[in-house]
A and B are shown apart, each in its own frame.
Chain A
Amino acid sequence: MYVVLGTAAAIAVAAVLGMFAFLAYFALPLFTADGFARMIDWTWRPADGSFGILPMVVGSLGLSALAMAVAFPVAVAVCAFAFGIGPRQPARIVMTIVNLMTGIPTIVYAFAAAIILPPLLRAGFEGGTGFSLLGAALVLAVLVLPTIVLVIDSNWQGLMAATRHTTAALGMNPTQHVLGVMIPASRAGLLAAFVLGFGRALGDTMVALMLSGNVPLVPESPIDSVRALTAHISLVMSLEVGGPGYQSAFAAGFILLLTTSAISIAVRNMGRRGSSGA
């Protein structure tokens, strides 16, 4: 049994390691004095020989940050609603709908938004094409919201059970309970949820590809177009194989992987610390 399972686990591990190893191998040409350094630049203009992907790094981070700035407070507010502020039945309905939201594919969000959003943004804001940092970030926010809510929810379930009677005995109403006890006490869990949502937003391709305008420039305002690292990868896959443009996909992938791995580790560590605290 041990042998059978061990082999299967070994295959799984080998597959994962293999994937990362091969990616590193494909990215090898980058790790020369010429290779990677070229990519650490602020200008992306292949026609002129510039292959800088830094604007895309800013684009990705900006999109995720803005998305979280919207999604995180909303997620906490929704959880507050579900954990006392809202009446029982509506609270259950809201949570059920949030659970259903996890089943909505990103391509569906991206498609619907691509039709509705740009005209709205063009009308609402002076100038701009509607394909912007703001538009993409809003859709990303809706996309990652259920993830954040569910993480906070599972964190608060235990906390609620532990503190419910105490606060009731003290005469606190549900709002005070959430505001004064739940939120402060679950700081670690909230942080973990935030980081997890951020990672999810960072890793998304389709929303960024279809809604952000794909302009390889650092944005000066929320209605400017940006390009995310993920969208960049899919855009340059059609360039000459082995050429610097194509290779930039691996540079972008490398940066993404580094960031999301760091996030995964951080979340796992927070989880460990959080359960021993609070």
Chain B
Amino acid sequence: MRWNHRSVYAFMGAFILAFGLSGLAGCATETTEEAPVSQEESVADITSSLDAFAGLEGDLDIAGGTAHIPVMEALAADIMSANDAIAITVAGGGSGVGVQQIGEGLVEIGNSGRELKDDEIAKYPGLELHAWAIDGVTAIVHPDNPVQELTADQVKAIFAGEITDWSEVGGNSGAINVYAREEGSGTGETFIEKGLGNGDVSERAVIVTSNGAMKTSVAADAAAIGFMSIGGVDDSVAAVSYDNVEPTNENALNGSYVVTRKLYSVTQGTPEGLTAVFLEYLMGENGVTYIEDAGYIPTYAR
């Protein structure tokens, strides 16, 4: 096979140029929206309330809690559809990452599913928390698992590694596979503090790093037990009732379900500019649909 290296040069050059340039072309030929978007019905509903963002421009970088992601992404998509001059990036990583990134100033908004720890407050003074939703954390098991109710003590013992077989809590005999979250996780800390009474989590627990990963791991393992944000629970896993209380966000609201936390967005000091508008929007009347769609309870008007 004879390959004329000149033709390869040309091919490669064209390849890189075409795609490199087209990607960068986006910035040269910015599609500016001079007039507001068309006033057709459903679009008008969104755009009229998104008027708050009209005329604004800039970048907004968001990172942190994985429970917050569905809300962030949905809201960001709508804002960016309405205003082409705004660019919002969303990253996950967990509450620990959220606090670290906002603390170090690497993002404009850091999401956290827990309050700041003492050493975080000490290291990053001036961080402000903005709560916008109430969410619970529930233990979850595989949907085929006959054990769907546990007492608080049983939950503690299972996660601590003291109860190791499903038969000990009324299930089919077989080892219990415990899944837990990484150290900085807000979901994790809430569960450990309020669900396990600050008890230990077995060293043998498999560590996963997001609510989504927890859900897929438990959904795939018939002997698994884990915990996740109530808002994200769906048919692929079964939420375990805790001390006879159903783990729903309504129960979280009325206080009967105790393993709860708020979802926070953290900023450095008082938010300004685009960040401020974004948070106001999220925490106000307009944010309610996004929050409820994700399964959480908005703090708005509470």
Contacts and interface: CB of A to CB of B under 8 A. Distances in A.
B100 A238 contact: yes
B207 A235 contact: yes
A127 interface: yes
A236 to B, nearest CB: 8
Contact of B100 (A130, A225, A240): A240
B54 interface: no
A238 B94 contact: yes
Given A119-B220, A127-B175, A240-B120, A214 B206 contact: yes
B203 A129 contact: no
A238 B204 contact: no
Interface string A234-271: 01111111110100000000000000000000000000
Contacts of A45: 203
A53 to B, nearest CB: 14
Contact of A122 (B103, B120, B221): B221
Q: Which 10 A-B residue pairs are closest in the complex by CB-CB distance?
A: A238-B97, A214-B207, A238-B96, A129-B177, A213-B206, A127-B175, A129-B206, A238-B184, A131-B206, A46-B183
Interface in B86-109: 93-94, 96-97, 100, 103-104
Nearest to B120: A240
Given A122-B221, A225-B206, 14 more contacts: A45-B203, A129-B177, A129-B179, A215-B203, A215-B207, A235-B209, A237-B97, A238-B100, A238-B182, A239-B100, A239-B183, A240-B119, A240-B123, A241-B104
Given A214-B206, A240-B120, A245 B183 contact: yes
B204 A215 contact: yes
B253 interface: no
B157 interface: no
A59 interface: no
20 contacts: A46-B183, A118-B220, A119-B220, A119-B221, A122-B221, A128-B177, A213-B207, A214-B206, A215-B205, A235-B207, A238-B100, A238-B182, A238-B184, A239-B100, A239-B183, A240-B120, A241-B100, A241-B104, A241-B123, A242-B123
A268 B145 CA distance: 55
A142 interface: no
Interface string B191-224: 0000000000001111101000000000011011
A183 interface: no
B109 to A, nearest CB: 16
Contacts of A128: 177
Main SS class of interface, A: loop
Contacts of B103: 241
B203 A216 contact: yes
A74 interface: no
A237 B182 CA distance: 11
A240 B184 CA distance: 9
A243 B119 CA distance: 10
Nearest to A130: B221
Contact of A215 (B97, B119, B206): B206
A245 B119 CA distance: 13
A122 B179 CA distance: 15
B35 to A, nearest CB: 43
A98 interface: no
Interface in A47-91: 47
Given A215-B207, A235-B207, A129 B224 contact: yes
Contacts of B183: 46-47, 236, 238-239, 245
Contacts of B206: 129, 131, 213-215, 225
A239 B221 CA distance: 29
A259 to B, nearest CB: 24
Contact of A238 (B93, B119, B123): B93
A235 B182 contact: yes
A119 B96 CA distance: 30
